[in-house]
C-alpha cells in the first residue's frame, strides 16, 4: 500500500510533539512497547514511559492514578486486552471517575488476523458506548488520526481512540480540520449511502468508485466521531438517500451500524438499511485481512455487490 502510514506511528509522533510543547504526558504500556511502536518516544524521553508488564488491569489503574496526580496519562496496548481484560477498571477508574486518561485501543478489529478471536477486538465500540463519561473516536487515515489525538490530549476527561493495526493511506488533504461530532462526507451521491468507521472507510471509498463506473451514485460517509456524534446532521444526511449500507470490522451490534439504525429509527425514517460487519453471534475468522473481509462481506467488492442488490430493490 503506497503512501500509507501506520496509525500507531502517528500516535507516537503526536506524543513526542505534545511533550515538546509542554504537555505533561505519560504513556503507560503493558509490555506492549512493540505493539505501540513507542521506541522513538522512549529514546526522546526515557524517564516518561511506565511499563507495568502483562497486567492490563494494573495498566488502567496506574493511568488513572497518574491522571489524578495531574499527568496526561495515555494507555497504549492491544484493544482486545484493554477492553476485555481491564473492563471493570476502564468502567470504574476511567469512565465513572471521569479521570483524564486517553485510552488507545491498538490493532483493533481483526487486525491480528490469524491470531484469531483471543486477539480480535470486534466489540470494543459496543462496550465503550455502554459506558458514560468517555468520548469515542475511530480515525480512518493518518491526518484524521493526528488531529483526533491532538484534540484528545488537550481535552480534560477520558477518551477512547480505536486504532487499526495496518498502515493506511490518506483520505484527506492538508485542508482537513477535525471537529468532534462531525459527520464526514467524502463523496456525494443519490442512489445509496455507504457509511463506515475506521479502516473500513477505505472499503466503501473503493466500492463507491466501482459503482460509479456502472452508473450507480453512492455517497460515502465516514463517522470517526462515535461519541459525540451529530446525530441530527447524520439523520438529515441519510434522509436524502433511498437506501443505506453500514460497514465495519466490528460486530454488527453496538458499532456504527447500530448507531445508524438508532438514528434512522428515532427519526422515523423508513429507509432500507443493511448492516455489514461480523454477524450477530459470530466471531471473525482467523485469516489475513483480505480473506477476513471477503468472508464477512465487508471488503469493497462485497459492499458494491450488496449496493447493487439494494438499488434493484433486492
Q: Is residue 31 part of a domain?
A: yes
Residue showing cell 468520548: 135
Residues 130 and 192 in one domain: no
29 lies in the same domain as 160: yes
Contacts of 100 (CB under 8 A, 6+ apart): 67, 72, 73, 156, 157, 158
Which pLDDT does position 178 carry in this prediction? 97
157 and 275 in one domain?
Answer: no
Q: What is the pLDDT of residue 3?
A: 81
Handedness of CA 300, 136, 14, 31 (dihedral sign): negative
> Of 107, 135, 169, which closes a domain?
169
Residue 176 belongs to a domain: no
Within-domain flag for 177: no
* Residue 175 resides in a domain: no
Containing domain of residue 26, as a range?
Answer: 4-169
Q: Are residues 101 and 203 in the same domain?
A: no
- Same domain, yes or no, for 165 and 17? yes
d(CA 219, CA 239): 12
Kindly state whether residues 155 and 195 are assigned to the same domain: no
Distance separating alpha carbons of residues 238 and 230, to the nearest angstrom:
12
**Residue finishing a domain among 122, 140, 169:** 169
- Threshold 0.85, pTM exceeds: yes
pLDDT at position 113: 95
Domain match, 22 and 162 both:
yes
Q: Which residues contact residue 249 at a Cβ distance below 8 angstroms, ignoring those fewer than 6 apart?
A: 108, 109, 110, 122, 198, 199, 200, 277, 278, 284, 292, 293, 298
Mean of all residue pLDDT scores within the chain: 96
Model pLDDT, residue 1: 44
Asked if the structure places residue 46 within a domain, the reply is: yes
- Rounded CA-CA distance 17/136 in Å is 22
In a domain, 160, yes or no: yes
Other beta carbons within 10 Å of 240 = 12
Q: Clarify whether residues 25 and 165 are in a common domain.
A: yes
Rounded to an integer, what distance in angstroms lies between the CA atom of residue 199 and that of residue 305?
Answer: 19
Q: Are residues 81 and 229 in the same domain?
A: no
pLDDT in tens, the chain (314 residues): 458 999 999 999 999 999 999 999 999 999 999 999 999 999 999 999 999 999 999 999 999 999 999 999 999 999 999 999 999 999 999 999 999 999 999 999 999 999 999 999 999 999 999 999 999 999 999 999 999 999 999 999 999 999 999 999 999 999 999 999 999 999 999 999 999 999 999 999 999 999 999 999 999 999 999 999 999 999 999 999 999 999 999 999 999 999 999 999 999 999 999 999 999 999 999 999 999 999 999 999 999 999 999 998 85
The CATH number linked to 303 is 3.40.50.920
Same domain, 64 and 165: yes
The domain tally of the chain equals 2
Residues 143 and 274 in one domain: no
Domain boundary among 169, 193, 208: 169
Domain CATH code at residue 117 = 3.40.50.970
In a domain? residue 260: yes
Q: Are residues 107 and 45 in the same domain?
A: yes
Amino acid at each position: 500500500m503506497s503512501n500509507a502510514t501506520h496509525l500507531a506511528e502517528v500516535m507516537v509522533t503526536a506524543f513526542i510533539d505534545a511533550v515538546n510543547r509542554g504537555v505533561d504526558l505519560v504513556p503507560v504500556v503493558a509490555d506492549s512497547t512493540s505493539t505501540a511502536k513507542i521506541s522513538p518516544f522512549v529514546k526522546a524521553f526515557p524517564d516518561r514511559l511506565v511499563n507495568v508488564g502483562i497486567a492490563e488491569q494494573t495498566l488502567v489503574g496506574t493511568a488513572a492514578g497518574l491522571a489524578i496526580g495531574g499527568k496526561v496519562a495515555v494507555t497504549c496496548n492491544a484493544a482486545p486486552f484493554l477492553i476485555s481484560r481491564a473492563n471493570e477498571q476502564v468502567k470504574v477508574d476511567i469512565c465513572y471517575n471521569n479521570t483524564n486518561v486517553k485510552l488507545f485501543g491498538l490493532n483493533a478489529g481483526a487486525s491480528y488476523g490469524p491470531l484469531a478471536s483471543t486477539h480480535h477486538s470486534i466489540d470494543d465500540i459496543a462496550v465503550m458506548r455502554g459506558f458514560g463519561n468517555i468520548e469515542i473516536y475511530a480515525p480512518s487515515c493518518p491526518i484524521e488520526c493526528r488531529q483526533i489525538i491532538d484534540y484528545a490530549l488537550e481535552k480534560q476527561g477520558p477518551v477512547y481512540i480505536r486504532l487499526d493495526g495496518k498502515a493506511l493511506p490518506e483520505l484527506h488533504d492538508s485542508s482537513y480540520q477535525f471537529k468532534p461530532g462531525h459527520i464526514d462526507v467524502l463523496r456525494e451521491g443519490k442512489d445509496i449511502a455507504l457509511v463506515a468507521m475506521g479502516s473500513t472507510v477505505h472499503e466503501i471509498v473503493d466500492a463507491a468508485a466501482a459503482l460509479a463506473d456502472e452508473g450507480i451514485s453512492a455517497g460515502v460517509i465516514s463517522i470517526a466521531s462515535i461519541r459525540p456524534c451529530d446525530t441530527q446532521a447524520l439523520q438529515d444526511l441519510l434522509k436524502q438517500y433511498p437506501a443505506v449500507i453500514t460497514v465495519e470490522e466490528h460486530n454488527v451490534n453496538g458499532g456504527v451500524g447500530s448507531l445508524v439504525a438508532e438514528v434512522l429509527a428515532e427519526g422515523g425514517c423508513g429507509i432500507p438499511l443493511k448492516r455489514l460487519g461480523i454477524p450477530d453471534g459470530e466471531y471473525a475468522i482467523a485469516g489475513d485481512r483480505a480473506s477476513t473481509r471477503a468472508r464477512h462481506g465487508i471488503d469493497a467488492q462485497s459492499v458494491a455487490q450488496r449496493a447493487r442488490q439494494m438499488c434493484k430493490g433486492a
